[in-house]
Structure 1
């Protein structure tokens, strides 16, 4: 194994009705006023909003609401949250929702502690030196943002979807109640499954060396995602299936799966971010289109690992069979697998490639992923 450092300060509180503890958790951490970040109407329709408010009020925690976070959180709305956090001098951010809500909350946490332009942290890689503490109640298991130091935001004016990373934006506490995911639709469960698989296969395939322990951990995650998703499709309120999926999605991107690996990049996310920025598609849908296309292009660069994937996940022999099996599983779950599936025309490929190349430049991947390479990959996604 390669040398590594591992750091994850997030406390996880997992299980039924755990959201009711949020007020006490904040009170114990000397938090008196929070910015309450959430999406649109779903947490109010399910009663979660009322339970959170009751818990906050019981402990005397003041809150300022910042609702309306989009599935692809945007810079303009994030800036509004930063202004609120500064104006009301909040002590912390409370994000109640899925990865989008958490990511916007993390970005607000950074913006509240700086006078610098927040987009510079995404575009120019400015170092994040401090942030407000972030607390999370998770309602959609997929992104792993509840236990990592990443956040993704879209600049809707420039059509850029970029990320930040810092130890300062790890959530302090994340509450994971699988019951809160009972109402997640089949469509978004499919996207969540794709996203979770994507988080672990990036380094699994693109690294120069992946230890067997990490191979087996990643393969176990993929199998668990597939098995639990099948159950959830048939029994949406199966607690154990939802619980296993939720925890699997968390550990897929909390740092454990990449330990001891040599090299590795996130090319699928890079290209998927371009699609998301340009067409405002769900992140999981972008990934289900990109992954088989990228795998087809990349397979010969690490053929033994692709053959292992086919064998361990699908009990098949060849790399091509494994790629087609994964693509078929995505399709069977209702996720798009081609650009045509989301009505993107072939003549748009150059525009997508250019956007992806701009991300590759920021991520220091432009040498490997030139415009020609990105165009080739996207052409694979056209059929």
Structure 2
């Protein structure tokens, strides 16, 4: 199969530089910045003062916006966009994890639209512009600091949609592993699940891709199997935090998807759970992932399971492909539920099947099914959800 692609990441990365060059970067895009963050930890850690010092040094006026929640809401995005328009903001500084950086992307897009931002997020209104965003990553998980997507929730309609576009790439990303030392064990564990899920969504493809891309994905999984638990057990282990932070970015910055094009189906299953129950994204993925893998395991996927087992999980080559697939899934279950101590079922979170029918209908409403590595119809979706109980 012939392969052609354009690979273009406009994000300039400052890795391990703290925020020493932040003011200089912000000044490249204007003199009035909106600082977006979501908690007191930014101030308690001393990061806020460092950022403020950088901005003052470069004579940049700063406003604050803290109305950001996990699973960011479109109503908060509207508030942020209105503030930007009213105060004529030039550049956005997003300090935090995926929720904060995704919010900045949505706010930056909504800045150029006077209506409800959900019109843009839902695809009703096209978008092609975004205020420049500078990301300061404090959590290793979504990789939003180096990708072109944002996930926003509509509480009223129980929807979670992806906003995507080349203009959403941050113009710069500051990635200092030491800033993740204070991330809780639970949030770190959720990040591990998120990173692995990003890779597996691309690894299981119906198309033959480039060997080098498969090898990078196998290396990313291998890295997370080694350093994910270590980051949870030893929060200030620099090697573990650094490897996790860089893996998060490369799992979703477009490199591992450049030679393949298919929709994701594991993430939408998790997104719908978050939309209805306001669950942490990584927790939904940790619960859904093993069930999704079991559901797609068949003669067509066994060669991919075998490669994954050999080169990511380093399993015995004498195992049959079927046994290797089973062992890959078992090792992931052990990683999530034993070593990382994440919930293993929806019942642990007091969730039953009350909304499953409605959730499955929403997932199928655009195309009659959920497209991905396997086309999942309503019955398939309900089966996977029930297996998660």
TM-score under structure 2 length normalisation:
0.92
How far off is 1:360 after superposition?
Answer: 6.4
For 2:56, the equivalent position in structure 1 comes to: 57
For 1:330, the equivalent position in structure 2 comes to: 336
Q: Work out whether 1:372 is the aligned partner of 2:379.
A: yes
Superposed, 1:1-383 pairs within 5 Å as 2-16=3-17, 18-27=18-27, 29-124=28-123, 126-261=125-260, 263-300=261-298, 301-314=300-313, 315=315, 317=319, 318=323, 319-332=325-338, 333-358=340-365, 368-382=375-389
Q: 3-state DSSP class of the match of 1:161?
A: strand
Q: 3-state DSSP class of the match of 1:20?
A: coil
In 2: Cα distance, 1:336 partner to 1:356 partner: 24
Q: Which one has the bigger helix percentage?
A: 1
Deviations 1:266-289 (A, max 9, x none): 101111100010000000001111
Q: 3-state DSSP class of the match of 2:244?
A: helix
CA contact under 8 A between 1:206 and 1:265: conserved in structure 2?
Answer: no
How far off is 1:30 after superposition?
Answer: 4.3
In 1: Cα distance, 2:278 partner to 2:20 partner: 34
> Is the deviation greater in 285-294 or in 342-351?
342-351
CA contact under 8 A between 1:147 and 1:250: conserved in structure 2?
Answer: yes
How far off is 1:359 after superposition?
Answer: 6.9
CA contact under 8 A between 1:357 and 1:374: conserved in structure 2?
Answer: no
Deviations 1:104-153 (A, max 9, x none): 00100001112243212221353322111111111011111111110110
Moved over 3 A (4+): 358-367
**For this pair of structures, how many residues does the alignment match?**
379
Q: 3-state DSSP class of the match of 1:153?
A: strand
In 1: Cα distance, 2:124 partner to 2:203 partner: 26
CA contact under 8 A between 1:357 and 1:366: conserved in structure 2?
Answer: no
Cα distance change on mapping 1:147 and 1:363 into 2, 3 Å: farther
Cα distance change on mapping 1:359 and 1:224 into 2, 3 Å: farther
5+ residue gaps, structure 2? none
Q: 3-state DSSP class of the match of 1:188?
A: helix
5+ residue gaps, structure 1? none
TM-score under structure 1 length normalisation:
0.94
In 1: Cα distance, 2:9 partner to 2:211 partner: 23
How far off is 1:187 after superposition?
Answer: 0.6
Alignment root-mean-square deviation, CA: 2.0
> Is the deviation greater in 349-358 or in 115-124?
349-358
Deviations 1:161-207 (A, max 9, x none): 00111111110111111110000111111100000011111021133
